[in-house]
Amino acid sequence: MIRWIRQQLGFDPPHQSDTRTIYIANKFPQHGHYTPQRFADNRIISSKYTIWNFVPKNLFEQFRRIANFYFLIIFLVQLMIDTPTSPITSGLPLFFVITVTAIKQGFEDWLRHKADNEVNGAPVFVVRSGSLVQTRSKNIRVGDIVRVAKDETFPADLVLLSSDRAEGTCHITTASLDGETNLKTHYAVPETAVSQSVSRLESLQAVVECQQPEADLYRFVGRITITQQGEEIVRALGPDNLLLRGARLKNTKEIFGVAVYTGMEAKMALNYKCKSQKRSAVEKSMNTFLIIYLGILLFEAILSTILKYAWQAEDKWNEPFYNRKTDQERNSSQILKFISDFLAFLVLYNFIIPISLYVTVELQKFLGSFFIVWDLDLYHEESDQKAQVNTSDLNEELGQVEYVFTDKTGTLTENEMQFRECSINGIKYQEINGKLVPEGMTEDSPDGSVPCLNREEELFLKAVSLCHTVQISYDQTDGPGDPFSHANGFSPQMEYYASSPDEKALVEATKRMGVTFMGSHGEIMEIKTFGKAEKYKLLHVLEFDADRRRMSVILQTPSGEKLLFTKGAESAILPYAKSGEIEKTRVHVDEFALKGLRTLVVACRHFSADEYREVDRRIHEARTALQQREERLVEVFNFIEKDLELLGATGVEDKLQDKVQETIEALRLAGIKVWVLTGDKHETAVSVSLSCGHFHRTMNILELVEQRSDNECAEQLRRLARRIKEDHVIQHGLVVDGASLSLALREHEKLFMDVCKNCAAVLCCRMAPLQKAKVVRLFKTSPEKPITLAIGDGANDVSMIQEAHVGIGIMGKEGRQAVRNSDYAIARFKFLSKLLLVHGHFYYVRIATLVQYFFYKNVCFITPQFLYQFFCLFSQQTLYDSVYLTLYNICFTSLPILVYSLFEQLVHPHVLQSKPALYRDISKNSQLSFKTFLYWTFLGFCHAFVFFFGSYILMGEDTTLMGNGQMFGNWTFGTLVFTVMVITVTLKLALETHFWTWMNHFVTWGSIAFYFIFSLFYGGIIWPFLHTQDMYFVFVQLLSSGSAWFAIIIIIITCLFPDVIKKVFYRHLHPTSTQKSQMYTNRVAIGDDFIALQPLSRAKNQLGKISLLRSTGASDAWTPCAVSRRGRTPVHGWAGWWSA
Phi-psi region of 1037 (alpha: psi -120 to 50; beta: other; left: phi over 0): alpha
The catalytic site residues sit at: 407
Which sign, positive or negative, has the C-alpha torsion 624, 629, 634, 638? Answer: negative
Beta strands, E only, 504-557: 515-521, 524-529, 532-542, 550-556
Among residues 590, 658, 600, 592, which one has the least CA distance to residue 420? 592
Instruction: For residues 678 and 684, give the distance between their C-alpha atoms in angstroms, rounded to a whole number.
Output: 10
Question: CA–CA distance from 38 to each of 1, 223, 924 (Å)?
Answer: 15, 20, 54
Among residues 284, 285, 96, which one has the least CA distance to residue 852? 285
Q: What is the DSSP string of 601-654?
A: EEEEEEE-HHHHHHHHHHHHHHHH-SSSHHHHHHHHHHHHS-SEEEEEEEEEEE
SS (H, E, C) 327-360: HHHHHCCHHHHHHHHHHHHHHHHHHHCCCHHHHH
Are 888 and 858 in contact by the 8 Å Cβ rule? The answer is no
Q: How many CA atoms lie within 13 A of 805 on its CB side?
A: 25
**Strand 806-810 to strand 788-792: parallel, antiparallel, or no bridges (unpaired)?**
parallel
Query: Please, is 430 exposed, middle or buried when counting C-beta atoms within 10 Å of its C-beta (0-12, 13-18, 19+)?
Result: middle
Among residues 825, 780, 829, which one has the least CA distance to residue 807? 825
Chain CA centroid to CA 438, Å: 48
Angle at 1025 between CA 1020 and CA 1029, to 5 degrees: 45
**Strand 180-187 to strand 169-174: parallel, antiparallel, or no bridges (unpaired)?**
antiparallel
**Amino acid, res. 778:** L
SS3 435: strand
Are 903 and 997 in contact by the 8 Å Cβ rule? The answer is yes
Name every residue whose Cβ is closer than 8 Å to that of residue 260 and which is 6 or more positions away in sequence: 20, 22, 142, 156, 157, 158, 159, 208, 210, 222, 242
Chain CA centroid to CA 877, Å: 51
Instruction: For residues 306 and 341, give the distance between their C-alpha atoms in angstroms, rounded to a whole number.
Output: 10
Are 589 and 641 in contact by the 8 Å Cβ rule? The answer is no
Instruction: For residues 1042 and 1047, give the distance between their C-alpha atoms in angstroms, rounded to a whole number.
Output: 9
Instruction: For residues 1042 and 1036, give the distance between their C-alpha atoms in angstroms, rounded to a whole number.
Output: 12
Instruction: For residues 555 and 1084, give the distance between their C-alpha atoms in angstroms, rounded to a whole number.
Output: 72
Name every residue whose Cβ is closer than 8 Å to that of residue 450 and which is 6 or more positions away in sequence: 514, 530, 531
Q: Cα dihedral angle (94, 100, 103, 108), rounded to 10 degrees?
A: -120
